[in-house]
């Protein structure tokens, strides 16, 4: 018999197994609880969208769109889509011939003109038809979620809702990057977006305040907030051209990636981590020195609002964010225990993105938390503690006791207590050994005498202390722990 090939996870993705998955759930639940106190609501988004959504919002020249997206072509699903694909791919398979006289006469009576020759399709081969069917629209797995949130905001007319629209999301994103510690091809983000008519600096500061409340809830310490303003549509293009001109002068001293970005996205050069480029970058023009008056006032007020909230920050003129839609406020939060890839959250303002995607004039700001990196940082700090899967292990002895064991388990589970009941009778010593291996805190012993008496033996496995309790007393006791 031929050996069966073992199928493994694809490079760059991984399984999140218990007990780690429980820690992930706790972090996500903390986000839901904290974000709710700031009046945010959850939005659940599709994991793939039209490729054009990301090309228009993120920017075709960005590495994300040009190199990193997982893109595929959808099948043509309607006759109109199929006909359009056939016309584009196989124009020679269409011939023009005279329009029949009855059709010409009918349209002439209506005062309409008809072409001398119409179009008639001739036969296609099956390979041609298959190629046309596969020539549908381009779709991409989402590399980030802000564009999807904005698309949903526009599509569902959410601008008509009262006040600012405050949304958060939790889920996987996809980028074809080189896998490394804390960076995967399927990775997870917790993010939030605030969309509305106001760009008041207090919105920016409150969003950052909410982030620190969340990180405090999950016990992530030693955080650093970097802050910058990258201007608006009035001053940013002028700065970009000034930066591009300065970079052209030092181009021979830069690496290949930075040289390419001079023309496509010069702001990304400021993100470079290459040691040999750092001294060069330090001598480049700084955006803070070229902000227009409105942007200067806005940024000063953001800083004042952070001071009001007692949030410390560090100004970082090189913090530009990698996506085209950002403007004005940008920020990044870093955490210890992650080496050079120490950013756990990044965000900023993107006024104008809604209009870019066909919506009404709207202000916007948001952030994305790298959940993978958050978990690594918590692990490095010793903040991830495996919790027991089982609170109580029920040991039933004799077929006559199984109904009582099942009934008791149902009552305990209804009270939120995690219970394991062996599906078949197990020897007493073996059952206790399994309870210990599962990390159960208690064993509940049910024999025929216990059933008759209506009391069960509760054994604390840590010190073997036993107590005889009724069903109601058991629920009360285990609910306390």
Cβ of 213: how many Cβ atoms within 10 Å?
Answer: 14
Look up tokens 């601008």; give the residue: 159
pLDDT tens profile 175-223: 887 767 667 888 999 999 999 999 999 999 999 999 999 999 999 988 9
- Angle among Cα 290, 296, 297 to the nearest 5 degrees reads 165
Chain centre distance of CA 389: 27
Q: Residue 309: CA atoms inside 13 Å, Cβ hemisphere, count?
A: 22
pLDDT band, residue 166 (cuts 50/70/90):
very high
Give 307 or 240, the one with higher predicted confidence.
Answer: 307
In the predicted model, is pLDDT for residue 134 greater than 60?
no
Q: Is 278 exposed, middle or buried (0-12, 13-18, 19+ CB in 10 A)?
A: exposed
SS3 86: helix
- Pairing between strand 186-196 and 165-174? antiparallel
Confidence (pLDDT) at 83 = 66
In the predicted model, is pLDDT for residue 126 greater than 80?
no
Question: For the chain, percent helix, then strand, then coil, each to nearest 5?
Answer: 45, 20, 35
Which CATH number describes the domain made up of 20-69+142-235+291-380? Answer: 3.30.930.10
Nearest C-alpha neighbor of 42 from the set 31, 51, 53 = 31
Residues 6 or more apart whose Cβ sits within 8 Å of residue 69: 51, 54, 140, 141, 143, 174, 175, 176
pLDDT tens profile 399-452: 888 888 899 899 999 989 999 998 888 888 888 888 888 888 898 998 888 888
Inter-residue contact 90 to 82 (CB < 8 Å): no
Inter-residue contact 345 to 191 (CB < 8 Å): no
Query: 333: part of which helix (H) or strand (E)?
Result: strand 327-334
Q: Which of 59-68, 154-163, 247-256, 440-449 has the lowest mean pLDDT?
A: 59-68
Q: Tell me: domain 392-480, CATH 3.60.10.10, correct? A: no
Spatial separation of the C-alpha atoms in residues 476 and 197, rounded to whole Å: 52
Nearest C-alpha neighbor of 364 from the set 147, 52, 47 = 147
Domain ranges of the chain: 20-69+142-235+291-380, 75-133, 392-480
- DSSP summary character for residue 65: I
Average pLDDT over the chain, rounded to an integer: 84
In the predicted model, is pLDDT for residue 384 greater than 90?
no
SS3 165: strand
In the predicted model, is pLDDT for residue 136 greater than 70?
no
């Amino acid at each position: 018999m031929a050996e069966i090939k073992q199928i493994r996870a694809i490079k760059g993705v991984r399984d999140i197994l218990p007990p780690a998955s429980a820690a992930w759930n706790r972090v996500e639940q903390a986000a839901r609880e904290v974000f709710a106190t700031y009046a945010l609501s959850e939005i659940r988004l599709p994991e793939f969208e039209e490729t054009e959504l990301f090309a228009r919002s993120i920017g075709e020249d960005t590495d994300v769109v040009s190199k990193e997206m997982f893109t595929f072509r959808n099948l043509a699903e309607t006759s109109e889509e199929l006909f359009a694909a056939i016309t584009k791919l196989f124009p020679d398979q269409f011939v023009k011939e005279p329009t029949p006289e009855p059709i010409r006469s009918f349209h002439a009576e209506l005062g309409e003109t008809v072409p001398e020759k119409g179009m008639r399709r001739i036969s296609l081969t099956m390979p041609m038809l298959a190629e046309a069917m596969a020539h549908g629209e381009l779709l991409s797995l989402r590399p980030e979620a802000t564009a999807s949130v904005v698309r949903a905001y526009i599509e569902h007319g959410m601008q008509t809702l009262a006040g600012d629209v405050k949304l958060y999301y939790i889920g996987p994103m996809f980028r074809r990057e080189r896998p490394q510690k804390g960076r995967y091809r399927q990775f997870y983000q917790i993010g939030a977006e605030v969309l509305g008519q106001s760009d008041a600096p207090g919105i920016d500061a409150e969003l950052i305040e909410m982030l620190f409340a969340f990180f405090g809830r999950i016990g992530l310490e030693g955080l650093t907030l970097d802050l910058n303003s990258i201007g608006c549509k009035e001053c940013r293009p002028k700065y970009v051209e000034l930066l591009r001109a300065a970079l052209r002068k030092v181009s021979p001293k830069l690496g290949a990636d930075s040289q390419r970005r001079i023309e496509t996205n010069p702001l990304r050069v400021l993100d470079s981590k290459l040691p040999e480029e750092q001294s060069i970058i330090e001598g480049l023009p700084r955006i803070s020195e070229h902000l227009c008056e409105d942007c200067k006032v806005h940024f000063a007020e953001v800083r004042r609002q952070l001071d009001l909230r007692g949030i410390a920050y560090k100004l970082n003129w090189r913090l530009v964010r990698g996506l085209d839609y950002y403007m004005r406020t940008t920020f990044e939060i870093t955490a210890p225990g992650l080496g050079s890839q120490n950013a756990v959250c990044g965000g900023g303002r993107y006024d104008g993105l809604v209009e870019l995607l066909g919506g009404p004039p709207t202000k916007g700001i948001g952030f994305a938390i790298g959940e993978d990196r958050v978990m690594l940082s918590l692990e490095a700090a010793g903040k991830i503690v495996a919790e027991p899967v089982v609170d109580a292990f029920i040991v039933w002895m004799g077929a006559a006791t199984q109904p009582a064991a099942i009934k008791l388990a149902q009552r305990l589970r209804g009270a939120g207590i995690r219970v394991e009941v062996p599906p078949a009778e197990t020897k007493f010593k073996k059952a206790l050994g399994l309870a210990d291996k599962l990390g159960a805190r208690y064993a509940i012993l049910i024999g025929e005498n216990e059933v008759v008496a209506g009391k069960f033996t509760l054994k604390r496995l840590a010190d073997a202390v036993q107590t005889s309790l009724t069903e109601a007393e058991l629920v009360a006791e285990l609910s306390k722990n």
